[in-house]
Structure 1
Amino acid sequence: MTDPKQDHGHPVAIAVQDQGHQHHAAAQSGRDLTRSAMSATLHCLTGCAIGEVLGMALATWWGWSNGPSIALAVLLAFAFGYGLTMSAVLRAGLSRRQAVKVALAADTLSILTMEIVDNAVLLAVPGAMESGLADLLFWGSLAVALAVAFVATVPVNRALLARGKGHAVVHAFHHH
């Protein structure tokens, strides 16, 4: 096993540095795996929600149309999602380059799934994208969209964790 602080950021080393941990993640089943997937999805939801709400609120305030509004919200969701993961692994002692690689490996599919579902729900709710910051429809549709996105993303994270992928990559650094 390699020391994550000594792998010089090599992507393969990061991915396999703690095979014992990944074996543990892959060996999880049933409720434990689902609980871990819900935890990983909640982490993802935190970053996505901050970025999504901030992006939609700013775009609405600025009077932007749907395309640019969604683009800003997605960009900020990825930025905050990756940022939360990076800050955690940087505190564990990884270099910035290693932290970026871990965040990309851990969060990309989860954030992507969450953002696709979240924005699809927003687009499907009549009037949601046209509502203003003072409208209950604006805040209610955002809350519902994020809740639906959470539910849709749990199975994605569960499948990734079962294979020692996704958020399992971050778990290697939780005890360092």
Structure 2
Amino acid sequence: MTHLAHHDHAAHPAQRHRAGGGWRTAAQATLHCLTGCAVGEVLGMVLGTALGLHNGATVGLSVALAFVFGYALTMRGVLGAGLPVRQAVKVALAADTVSILVMELIDNSVIAAVPGAMDAGLGSALFWASLAGSLALAFLLTVPVNRWMIARGRGHAVVHAQHGH
């Protein structure tokens, strides 16, 4: 599914993005961000755990991959809409940086706070439950951040502005 198809653009006039940004728009933007973050986060945790990396290196790998996949997902959509690569990079950075940063701070703080979660193996329910719970909490706490940013024409609103809205 392309980024354009991912959002119901008809339900999001430009004025709404700039002047109010609704909770639905913010939730969709956060879900979009969560998708890229989750892929990177899970892959980083799996690789770090499987390779026997220490906790700091595993978290670092997870965060780096969350940013890579988060930006890549946005770039895929805006490139598909016809933006040149240079502009697509700028849009992805503007649209997703704060959202990914907030999500990663929450996600990794939760995982670090759950006793034994970072040391649990890939076959452990504790590992997967703490990872899933941390991503769910990160989503819930990032939605208001994205709503605030979209209402001010920032964050994910930048993506919509590039699509001629």
Same fold (TM over 0.5): yes
Specify which of 17, 25, 34 is matched with residue 45 of structure 1: 34
Report how many aligned residue pairs link the two structures: 153
Partner of 2:160: 171
Q: Is residue 2:131 matched to residue 1:142?
A: yes
The alignment's C-alpha RMSD in Å is 1.5
Q: Is residue 2:16 matched to residue 1:27?
A: no
Question: Tell me, which stretches of 5 or more residues in structure 2 are unaligned?
Answer: 1-12
Q: Is residue 2:99 matched to residue 1:110?
A: yes
Specify which of 66, 69, 87 is matched with residue 80 of structure 1: 69
Question: Tell me, which stretches of 5 or more residues in structure 1 are unaligned?
Answer: 1-19
Match of 1:172, SS state, is helix
| C-alpha distance in 1 between matches for 2:160 and 2:150 | 10
| C-alpha distance in 1 between matches for 2:163 and 2:47 | 34
| C-alpha distance in 2 between matches for 1:144 and 1:121 | 8
Partner of 1:62: 51
1:170 corresponds to which letter in structure 2? V
Match of 1:151, SS state, is helix
| C-alpha distance in 2 between matches for 1:168 and 1:89 | 13
The TM-score, its normalising length taken from structure 2, stands at 0.89
Partner of 2:120: 131
Q: Percent identity?
A: 63
1:140 corresponds to which letter in structure 2? A
Which one is further off, 140-149 or 164-173?
Answer: 164-173
| C-alpha distance in 1 between matches for 2:95 and 2:39 | 18
1:172 positional shift: 2.3
Match of 1:41, SS state, is helix
Higher CA-based Rg:
1
